[in-house]
């Protein structure tokens, strides 16, 4: 397969992206506020890991964007207007266009559960467990902390906190 390049959406004339997930700045000349002429050589952008393990790059001084999203916007048609980009093989570092697809949020979560990228906490957190977590949680008490309750019920500490704070399973009595 040959590497093909296209402009980065919203940064045409400044950056290009390849179907292999590489991103480069385009060589260009500009005049600064003092009227001085400068030439910027093209270079490959450095990829940075975000907290979830996805590659991101800085576009200019103020925009950090996910590499997989940049690739998808350039190479993958999105006629249905789906909002998320899925890595088909589950590898967050494989940003090749052939490994990406536009999906709904629901499909993206289903795929992540199926491939083992995330646990199916929603299924584990039955109404009884949700009620127990909300009853047992005691702030600033190690034995009843989010971490302790997460271990006890086989959930992530983040998911337990979302249950406690009401972000998840709000309507537990209705289930």
Same domain, 11 and 92: yes
Same domain, 88 and 40: yes
Of 62, 90, 114, the one marking the end of a domain is 114
Same domain, 149 and 103: no
Question: What's the start-to-end Cα distance of the chain, in Å?
Answer: 50
The model carries a pTM of 0.68
> In this predicted structure, what is the pLDDT of residue 33?
92
Exposed/middle/buried for residue 116 (C-beta within 10 Å: 0-12, 13-18, 19+): exposed
Of 67, 88, 114, the one marking the end of a domain is 114
State the total domains in the chain: 2
Take residue 66 and report the two structure tokens written for it: 């996910």
CA 63 to chain centroid: 15
Cα–Cα distance, 85 to 69 (Å, whole number): 6
> In this predicted structure, what is the pLDDT of residue 10?
95
> In this predicted structure, what is the pLDDT of residue 174?
38
> In this predicted structure, what is the pLDDT of residue 106?
86
Which domain covers residue 70, as residue numbers? 5-114
Question: Residue 13's domain is classified under what CATH number?
Answer: 3.90.75.20
> In this predicted structure, what is the pLDDT of residue 160?
86
Among 101, 67, 102, smallest CA distance to 81 is for 102
Same domain, 17 and 88: yes
CA dihedral of 55, 77, 23, 33, whole degrees rounded to 10: -110
Of 92, 114, 136, the one marking the end of a domain is 114
Same domain, 161 and 78: no
Instruction: Spell out the SS3 assignment of 57-109.
Output: EEECCCEEEEHHHHHHHHHCCCCCCCCEEEECCCCCCCCCHHHEEEECHHHHH
Cα–Cα distance, 121 to 12 (Å, whole number): 41
Cα–Cα distance, 79 to 105 (Å, whole number): 16
pLDDT in tens, the chain (175 residues): 899 999 999 999 999 999 999 999 999 898 999 999 999 899 999 999 987 789 999 998 889 999 999 999 999 999 999 999 999 998 999 999 999 999 998 898 788 878 777 666 666 778 888 889 989 998 888 888 888 898 898 888 888 888 888 765 544 443 3
Bridge partners, residue 84, by sequence:
103
């Amino acid at each position: 397969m040959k590497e093909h390049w296209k402009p980065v959406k919203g940064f045409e004339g400044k950056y290009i992206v390849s179907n292999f997930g590489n991103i480069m700045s385009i060589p260009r000349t500009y005049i600064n506020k003092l009227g001085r002429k400068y030439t910027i050589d093209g270079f490959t952008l450095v990829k940075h890991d975000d907290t979830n393990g996805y590659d991101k790059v800085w576009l200019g001084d103020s925009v950090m964007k996910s590499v997989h999203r940049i690739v998808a916007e350039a190479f993958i048609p999105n006629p249905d207007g789906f909002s998320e980009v899925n890595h088909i093989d589950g590898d967050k570092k494989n940003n090749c266009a052939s490994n990406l697809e536009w999906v709904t949020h629901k499909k993206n979560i289903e795929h992540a559960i199926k491939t083992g990228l995330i646990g199916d906490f929603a299924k584990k957190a039955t109404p009884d467990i949700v009620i127990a977590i909300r009853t047992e949680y005691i702030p600033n008490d190690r034995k009843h902390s989010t971490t302790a309750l997460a271990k006890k019920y086989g959930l992530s500490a983040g998911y337990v906190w979302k249950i406690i704070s009401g972000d998840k399973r709000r309507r537990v009595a209705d289930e």
